[in-house]
Chains A and B, each alone.
Chain A
Amino acid sequence: MQVLPVLARDHEIVLWTDQSRVAPEVDKIAPVAKYNPEAPPWREINEGAVSIYHLGNDPGFHAGIWQVGAQQPGIIVLHDLCLHDFFFMLFVHHRKNRDAYLDTMERWYGGEGRQSAEAFCVGGISSESMAQKFPLTREATRNALGAVSHCAWVLEELNEMPACPTAVLNLPYAGASEPRYAAWRAARDAMPHPPYRLVVFGYLTRNRRLGPLLEALAGLPERERFRLELCGQLWGESIIRDQVERLGLNSIVSLSGFLFDDQVEQKLASADLAINLRYPSMGEGSLSQLQLWDYGLPTLVTRTGWYASLPEEVTAFVSPESEIPDIQAQLRRYLADPGAFRAMGERGRRALRNHDPAHYGQALARFAAGALEHAPQAAALDLARRIGSDLTGWLPSAASPYLLERTSQEIGRVFEGRQSE
């Protein structure tokens, strides 16, 4: 919704979905069409100049998208870069096709990938470890004309650079108006300090590091000067409650559960410091981080993935190798100079200028137009892969150099108009 109005202003957009429910405001911006991933309406889809596929880690939302994108080349926008979870859930749980998962792992990571996948299937390896070592990003972009990520260096670090052209675009975010922001700041300033209100919000899964955060808070002699609010759907709620109880944090920590938008706004407007830890990271850019900056909130993040690319002046960092001592050090730093952190929050808000949705929309459209020129190469690569796969089955190695050279020359002429030598 950040980008759609921008794109719809200058381009004819059709939004395709396989979900049964669509937010009502969406079709006020662009027409919404439904598709069945098992029988996509190719004629209608092919009438578009280019397809843009938004891919994340949730098969419930993204399986259909991937299924179409795997067949009809387009632009893949990677909202997560480590997609092992997605493909595992898709193949093994949704499609009940364990072999497809194993074959995919072997395709990209060889025998080691297959063996690790087999071990993972029986619970021998953690999902975090698999995601970091076997991200399967290239599987997602296998047929793509182009790939958009929000943090390219992570792709390079993961050794998962797609074969297609890639673009790095800052996540788009339209900040709140100045009057609205001023109201939030006033609300925060009106709150008595101390205690200082720490907030964690969003979908609170294991990688949000609640365990180490609670341990860090419990170990801080100055903990009574803080109040920690956990806002959002909590994974393993009973475990967290037990830990709060065990650490004697009942008077400091509260669990709000799922909140509606106006409730989230109230919580964030009155918070002093947002804890936005992530480890391991799936490489994704963080819309929640931008939202926290929108409130001018200083933040504490884990130095990993996209977060590691943030400048030092707009956020405070925690290292994954020393979470608890780092969290404690940052909280003490906060107590020593809350004003410095408030200034950090202000800088975070100003950093939102680099996330202008208009710029994102224009850059995305430009990249898509450029990626279309890559289409012949994509087709050539696909043909070359298939030819190579077939030749491997029967061509003696002595004959390969000539035939491979001749084949590649002609593929180039057919698809790219290159003159053969």
Chain B
Amino acid sequence: MKILIVTSGDPFVRGDAETAADGLRKALVEAGHQAELIVIPFRDYPARSIPDQMLACRLLDLTESCGARIDRMIGLKFPAYLIPHPNKVIWLLHQHRAAYELWGHPVSGSLIDCADGVVVRDAIRQADCELIPEAGTLYTQSQNVSSRLQRGSGITADVLYHPPADADCFHKGSAGDYLLFPSPVRRANRQRLALQALAQCRERVVIRFAGESADPAEQTECANAIRKFKLGDRVQWLGTVPDDQKRELYAQCLGVVYPPVDEDYGYVTLEAMLSAKAVITCSDAGGPVEFVADRRTGFVTDPTPQSLAQAMDMLWADRRCAGTLGDAGRDQYQDLRISWPNVVEKLTC
């Protein structure tokens, strides 16, 4: 089949959605399809430009190219999934969250701070309700996204998990003397919570933080926390690391700390499971909680420093337990049959 994957994104920005889109395209090609990726540039400010971009997507005609029919269109993100196509499938990575659960969020709720925020929010919600069901087949990337879709738009969608990039390259190594926290530094990823927890640990837990400094202000806050709690000898900031180094960090860690707020999916969880490492996450983390079984493949704690510290102490104090939990996580990953061929099969049937 000739398949177009349509998504949207900010030019010069690359994140998990871009990784998913690239992985899908590659998997479709490997399965014998002709697949192209169309990225619609999308900017969510000023707010009144959002309906313009929605309309622009609606006016696109991707039914044919050079006289040949495009057999299928797979939409991933807002507003690209609004593009009409007679054979449209939506594999929803996430809706425009500022119009839903992030409406009014103290940090991430940008739309509410706009004069026409209410009108634009309602337009987004209306369009989603009306136009997402245009798709003949509808999946989301996680149960968390499915739940949001149901709550926000009253639409039901099955879940279709996919592997992280280079899934085959992750491996288990020996358990070293550190917990790994592999995420860009952002408030939503809660590095600061982990630092506050570290300060309350009874054990001499060490955390290595790997990831770009996506929010300089948050980076500064973390530095302040390290000074305040005198954690200098128990924290290592690695910044951005190459992929092979990142995989080695996973392989050699004792466990992974990953407590984001309401994450859509969360590659870190899967990367940890592929590396046979236990994951410490929080009950409000969203996607990660779908994979981490408390005290079977890791720990699901309350989103408090005290609760997180207890889990980190438990892992640190009982390495055998850490290994058992990690192995169970890898087994669970295998049981879930998370693979690109499965994704391709579902999206092309």
Identify the A interface with B (CB < 8 A): 40, 42-43, 46-47, 68, 71-73, 375-376, 378-379, 382-383, 386-387, 406-407, 410-411, 413-417
B117: CB under 8 A from chain A?
A: yes
Q: Which of B226-278 contact A (CB under 8 A)?
A: none
Once the chains bind, are A46 and B123 in contact (CB under 8 Å)? no
When distances are taken between beta carbons in the complex, the residues of chain A under 8 Å from B51 are 379, 383, 414-415
For the complex, what is the distance from the CA of A47 to the CA of B114, rounded to whole Å?
11
Interchain CB contact (< 8 A) of A414 among B104, B114, B116, B126: B126
Please tell me the number of chain B residues within 8 Å of chain A, measured between CB atoms. Answer: 26
Most buried by B among A71, A72, A73, A413: A413
Contact residues, B106-132 vs A (CB, 8 A): 109, 112-120, 122-123, 126-127, 129-131
* Residues of A close to B129: CB separation below 8 A: 417
CB neighbours (8 Å) of B54 from chain A are: 414
Can you spell out 17 A-B residue pairs with CB atoms less than 8 angstroms apart?
A: A42-B115, A43-B104, A46-B112, A68-B115, A375-B118, A376-B122, A379-B51, A382-B48, A383-B55, A387-B55, A407-B55, A407-B59, A410-B58, A413-B58, A414-B126, A415-B126, A417-B130
Q: B55 touching A379 by the CB < 8 A rule?
A: no
B126 close to A417 (CB less than 8 A): yes
A378→B123 CA distance, assembly (Å): 10
> B59, A42: Cβ atoms under 8 Å?
no
Q: Is the beta-carbon distance between A414 and B123 smaller than 8 angstroms? A: yes
Contact of A375 among B55, B109, B112, B122 (CB under 8 A): B122
Would you give the shortest CB distance from A421 to chain B, in whole angstroms?
A: 13
B345 CB–A CB distance under 8 Å: no
**B122, A410: Cβ atoms closer than 8 Å:** no
Identify the 9 closest CB pairs spanning chains A and B, nearest first: A71-B115, A410-B58, A417-B130, A72-B115, A379-B119, A414-B127, A46-B112, A43-B113, A43-B112
Using A414-B54, A417-B130 as known contacts, say yes or no to A46 and B118 having CB atoms under 8 A apart: yes
User: Are A376 and B126 in contact, with the CB atoms below 8 A?
Assistant: yes
Most buried by A among B59, B109, B118: B118
B114 and A42 form a contact (CB under 8 A): yes
Q: Which residues of A have CB within 8 Å of B126?
A: 376, 414-417
Q: Residue of A at shortest CB range from B129?
A: A417
| Interface residue B318 (Cβ < 8 Å from any Cβ of A) | no
Report Cα–Cα, A375/B120, bound state, in Å. 10
Q: Is B52 an interface residue (CB 8 A)?
A: yes
Q: How far is the CA of A120 from the CA of B115 in the complex (A)?
A: 33
Q: List 7 other contacts, CB 8 Å, given A47-B112, A416-B126.
A: A42-B112, A43-B109, A43-B112, A71-B116, A72-B116, A413-B58, A414-B126
Shortest Cβ distance from B134 into A: residue:
A413
Name the CB-closest residue of B to A414. Answer: B127
Output the least CB separation between A53 and chain B (Å). Answer: 13
Residues of A within 8 A of B120 (CB): 379
Shortest CB–CB separation between residue B230 and chain A, in angstroms? Answer: 37
Looking at the assembled complex, report how far the CB atom of A148 sits from the nearest CB atom of chain B, in whole angstroms.
19
Query: Considering the chains assembled together, what is the distance between the CA atoms of A96 and B130 in angstroms?
Result: 46
CB–CB A42/B113 < 8 A: yes
In the complex, are the beta carbons of B130 and A375 less than 8 A apart?
Answer: no
Complex: chain B residue closest to A376, CB-CB = B126
Q: Give Cα distance in the complex from A71 to B58, angstroms.
A: 26
B166 → A minimal CB distance (Å):
39
- Whether B115 contacts A413 by the Cβ 8 Å rule is no
Q: How far is the CA of A376 from the CA of B121 in the complex (A)?
A: 10
Question: Which residue of A42, A46, A47, A387 has the most chain B CB atoms within 10 A of its CB atom?
Answer: A46
B-chain residues with CB within 8 Å of residue A47 when the two chains form the complex: 104, 112
Q: Taking A46-B117, A375-B118 as contacts, is the C-beta distance between A410 and B123 under 8 angstroms?
A: no
CB distance from B301 to the nearest CB of A (A): 31
Residues 137-163 (chain B) with a chain A CB within 8 angstroms: none
Q: How far is the CA of A413 from the CA of B59 in the complex (A)?
A: 11
Residue contact A375 to B119, C-beta cutoff 8 Å: yes
B112 touches A410 (CB 8 A): no
Q: Which residues of A contact B82 (CB under 8 A)?
A: 414
Among candidates A68, A378, A413, A416, residue contacting B119 with C-beta atoms closer than 8 Å: A378
Q: B119 — which chain A residues lie within 8 A by C-beta?
A: 73, 375, 378-379
Which B residues are CB-close (under 8 A) to A413? 58, 127, 130-131
Q: Quick one: given A376-B123, A414-B123, A417-B126, are A42 and B117 in contact (CB under 8 Å)?
A: yes
Give every chain A residue within 8 A of B55 (Cβ-Cβ): 383, 387, 407, 410-411, 414
Chain A nearest CB, measured from B200 CB (Å): 34
B30 to chain A, nearest CB (A): 36
Nearest neighbor of B109 in chain A, beta-carbon distance: A43
- Across-interface contacts of A376 in B (CB, < 8 A): 122-123, 126
A379 to B52 CA separation, bound complex (whole angstroms):
11
User: What's the Cα separation between A47 and B123 when bound, in Å?
Assistant: 17
- Kindly list chain B residues whose C-beta atoms are within 8 Å of the C-beta of A415: 51, 123, 126-127
C-alpha gap A410/B126 in the complex (Å): 13
Which among B104, B113, B116, B131 has the greatest number of chain A C-beta atoms within 10 A?
Answer: B116
In the assembled complex, which residues on chain A have CB atoms less than 8 Å from the CB atom of B48? 382
- B51-82, CB < 8 A from A: 51-52, 54-55, 58-59, 82
Residue from A40, A43, A378, A386 having most chain B Cβ neighbours under 10 A: A43
When distances are taken between beta carbons in the complex, the residues of chain B under 8 Å from A410 are 55, 58-59
Q: Smallest CB-CB separation from A50: which chain B residue?
A: B118
Within the complex, the shortest CB–CB distance from A400 to chain B, in Å, comes to 15
Question: Is A383 a contact partner of B52 (Cβ separation < 8 A)?
Answer: yes
How far is A413 from B55 in the complex, measured between Cα atoms in Å? 9
- 1/0 per residue, CB under 8 A from A, across B83-116: the answer is 0000000000000000000001000010011111
Q: Is the CB of A379 within 8 A of B112?
A: no
Closest to A379 in B: B119
Q: Report A-chain residues with C-beta under 8 Å of the C-beta of B116.
A: 71-73, 379
Interface-centre pick from B54, B115, B117, B122 (highest chain A CB count, 10 A): B115
* Neighbouring B residues of A71 by C-beta, 8 Å: 115-116
CA distance A145 to B112 in the complex (A): 18
Q: How far is the CA of A73 from the CA of B118 in the complex (A)?
A: 9
- Expressed in whole angstroms, the minimum distance between the Cβ of B13 and any Cβ of chain A is 25
CB distance from B116 to the nearest CB of A (A): 7
| CB-based nearest B residue for A410 | B58
Distance (Å) between the CB of B82 and the closest chain A CB? Answer: 8
C-alpha spacing A379/B115, complex, angstroms: 13
Q: List chain B residues, Cβ under 8 A from A417.
A: 126, 129-130
Which residues on B sit within 8 Å (CB–CB) of A386? 52
**Given the complex of chains A and B, what is the CA–CA distance between A332 and B274 in angstroms?**
102
Q: Tell me the smallest distance from the CB of B131 to a CB of chain A, in Å.
A: 7
Q: Give the distance to chain B from A133, nearest Cβ to Cβ, in Å.
A: 32
